[in-house]
DNA sequence: GGAACTCGCCAC
DNA sequence: AAACGTGGCGAGTTCC
């Protein structure tokens, strides 16, 4: 594709997105206000519990009559690292001792669990519930979508940001998404492109093994078996846990250009709940079959993060030098081309120029092109909506997914049209997409909130 | 008193 | 040699 086509995509795109913005999403203001005061009570009581603790008293004393702000990372860092002399394991970007969730959890101080719970509730209240309330007009929010702010030529969203509403944390998801409703007598539906970025990367690098794995393999399972040295059994819950550890702690980071040292920490410390320092002992870590992860790894000759890191180093080499060696070759070629020209052009016709790190050069075109598939679909679905006079509306967009407010009588037809546009029509128009595209569809019952999605 | 920065955390 | 990409946003803090 060329630059004219890229320009047209964004021009049509911004028109479709502004229609989306104008449509808006209905929110339940009564729920938001009730939930807000419930959270206020919870925070008050947790704050009381925290400020009565020994930990807090000591913190207060150390500040010589200056007041304590329990929400200040600076003050907390000073107390933990300078007063209590805890050894710094993780630094912030400016070299201060980190006080993020992971770090505080590792300290094993029970009072800090209270503080973390308060912070989680504040995040839900201040960013999401109050954000919705601030931005609403007559019970509807109208998130703004931008196409001119992101260096990869993706979109961003604001006022409120509809692209970062909690999903993985069950409690936060439930509270926040219960605020979002379809119009009366309608239902919310979300259509996600399956593995969109991976499929687009396969279109760029044309790696046979990667395409084969996307279509009929299971790379997460395969790599989990190598990393944790076991034979995968889908009926064993602990095997499923290690599969998702591999997916989120190895496969995704590797595709973004991470390296084995971070992955080793990810897999064992963050996912396996094993200690970062010292030798692992029996009974440590998450459950694995009839024992714990440490028991299993020790049996296989791995008894610390250091030895595990060496193991991951070998697996990383096999991953890029053998399994996906064509992908690795493409990366080198793509990067060399950038060094030569000072820019590169995506399959969707966008030119990326300026000073970029190696990982940026690998990621930007793929991330952008993947989003452009979604944007193309948004434009075409909007056209169908207008042409066929749907009552159904497109109301949101999250990089590789769309959210619709569906009239139940139109549901079957809308699903057919959306599927056809997102999986078939796009490949007719953009023949450079060499890998089949597929979608996942989730739906909520009529008049139910966005917290209650289920598979269609 | 506002701009700009830092930190942390939510999404893909 | 370097070391996972893109954003928005709230609260705390510092600078001017």
CATH code, A35:
1.20.1060.10
Looking at A259, A289, A323, which one is the last position of a domain?
Answer: A323
Residues A215 and A249 in one domain: yes
One domain for residues A266 and A372: no
**CATH number where A420 lies:** 3.30.70.370
**A65 has a pLDDT exceeding 80:** no
Residue A346 lies in a domain: no
Who contacts A375 (Cβ-Cβ below 8 Å, separation ≥6)?
A9, A13, A16, A155, A397
Q: How far is CA A58 from the centre of its chain?
A: 38
pLDDT at A151: 87
C-alpha closest to that of A193 among A366, A363, A370, A72:
A370
Calculate the angstrom distance between C1' of B6 and CA of A119: 17
pLDDT exceeds cutoff 90 at A25: yes
| Proportion of chain A above pLDDT 90, given as a percent | 72
In Å, what is the separation between the CA of A359 and the C1' of C1?
Answer: 14
Contact A362, A341 (CB under 8 A): no
Which pLDDT score is estimated for A372? 96
Token pair for residue A374?
Answer: 């979604």
In terms of domains, do A272 and A253 share one?
yes
Distance CA A399, CA A420 (A): 19
Which pLDDT belongs to residue A108? 86
A421 in contact with nucleic chain B (CB within 7 A) = no
Q: Do A154 and A19 share a structural domain?
A: yes
DSSP string, A415-433: HHHHHIIIIIIHHHH-TT-
The rounded distance, in Å, linking the Cα atoms of A218 and A47 is: 46
Q: What is the span of the domain harbouring residue A377? A: 3-24+142-198+365-455
A363 nearest nucleotide via C1' and CA: C5
Going by their DSSP bridges, the two strands A187-193 and A291-292 should be labelled as unpaired
Judge if A319 and A213 occupy the same domain: yes
| CA angle centred on A270, ends A267 and A274, rounded to 5° | 80
Identify the pLDDT of residue A90.
84
Q: What is the DSSP letter of A67?
A: P
Per-residue burial over A164-185, b = 16 or more CB atoms within 10 Å of its CB, e = otherwise: ebbeeeeebbebbbbbbbbbee
Give the H/E segment covering residue A170.
helix A170-177
Helical (H) or strand (E) element with A455: strand A454-455
Pair (A233, A314) in one structural domain: yes
Domain tally, chain A:
3
Nearest to A159, CA basis, from A143, A173, A171: A143
pLDDT digits (tens, 9 = 90+) for A280-324: 999 999 999 989 999 999 999 999 999 999 999 999 999 999 999
pTM over 0.85: yes
| A352 domain residue, yes or no | no
Same-domain pairing of A232 and A380? no
A371 pLDDT higher than 90: yes
- Which nucleotide lies nearest residue A371, CA to C1'? B12
In a shared domain, residues A18 and A33: no
Residue A350 belongs to a domain: no
Same domain, A297 and A220: yes
Bases on strand C under 7 Å from any protein CB: 2-14
Residues A187 and A216 occupy one common structural domain: no
In this predicted structure, what is the pLDDT of residue A92?
85
Strand nucleotide closest to residue A167 (CA to C1'): B11
Give the pLDDT confidence of A252-267 residue by residue, as tens digits.
999 988 889 989 988 9
Domain assignment present for A131: no
A428 plus A391 within the same structural domain: yes
**For residue A239, what pLDDT band results from cuts at 50, 70 and 90?**
very high
The verdict on residue A96 lying in a domain is yes
């Amino acid at each position: 594709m060329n630059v004219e086509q890229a320009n047209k995509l964004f021009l049509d795109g911004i028109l479709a997105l502004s229609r989306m913005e104008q449509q808006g999403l209905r929110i339940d203001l009564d729920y938001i206000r009730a939930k807000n005061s419930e959270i206020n009570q919870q925070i008050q009581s947790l704050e009381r519990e925290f400020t009565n603790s020994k930990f807090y008293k000591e913190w207060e004393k150390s500040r010589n009559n200056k007041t304590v702000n329990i929400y200040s990372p600076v003050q907390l860092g000073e107390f933990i690292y300078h007063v209590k002399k805890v050894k710094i394991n993780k630094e912030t970007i400016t070299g201060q001792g980190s006080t993020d969730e992971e770090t505080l959890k590792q300290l094993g101080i029970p009072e800090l669990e209270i503080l973390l719970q308060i912070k989680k509730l504040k995040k839900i209240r201040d960013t999401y519930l109050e954000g919705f309330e601030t931005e609403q007009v007559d019970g509807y929010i109208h998130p703004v979508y931008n196409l001119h702010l992101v260096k990869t030529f993706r979109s961003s969203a604001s006022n409120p940001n509809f692209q970062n509403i909690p999903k993985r944390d069950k409690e936060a998801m439930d509270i926040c998404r219960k605020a979002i409703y379809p119009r009366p007598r309608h239902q919310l539906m979300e259509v996600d492109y399956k593995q969109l970025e991976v499929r687009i990367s396969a279109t760029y690098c044309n790696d046979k093994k990667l395409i084969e794995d996307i279509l009929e393999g299971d790379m997460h399972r395969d790599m989990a078996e190598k990393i944790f040295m076991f034979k995968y059994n889908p009926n064993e819950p602990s095997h499923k846990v290690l599969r998702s550890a591999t997916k989120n702690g190895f496969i995704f980071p590797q595709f973004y250009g991470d390296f084995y040292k971070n992955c080793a920490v990810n897999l064992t410390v963050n996912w396996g709940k094993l200690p970062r320092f010292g030798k692992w002992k029996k009974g440590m870590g998450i459950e694995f079959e009839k024992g714990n992860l440490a028991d299993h790894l020790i049996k296989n000759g791995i008894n610390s993060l250091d030895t595990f890191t060496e193991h991951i180093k070998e697996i990383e080499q096999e991953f890029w030098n053998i399994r996906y060696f064509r992908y690795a070759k493409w990366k080198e070629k793509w990067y060399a081309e950038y060094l030569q020209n000072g820019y590169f052009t995506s399959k969707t016709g966008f030119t990326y120029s300026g000073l970029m790190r190696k990982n940026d050069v690998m990621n930007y075109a793929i991330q952008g092109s993947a989003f452009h598939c979604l944007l193309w679909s948004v434009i075409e679905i909007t056209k169908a909506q207008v042409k066929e006079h749907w009552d159904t509306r497109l109301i949101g967009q999250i990089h590789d997914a769309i959210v619709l407010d569906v009239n139940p009588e139109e549901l079957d037809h809308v699903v057919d049209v959306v599927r056809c546009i997102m999986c078939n029509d796009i490949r007719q128009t953009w023949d450079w997409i060499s890998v089949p595209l597929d979608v996942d569809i989730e739906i909520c019952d009529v008049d139910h909130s966005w917290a209650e999605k289920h598979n269609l």
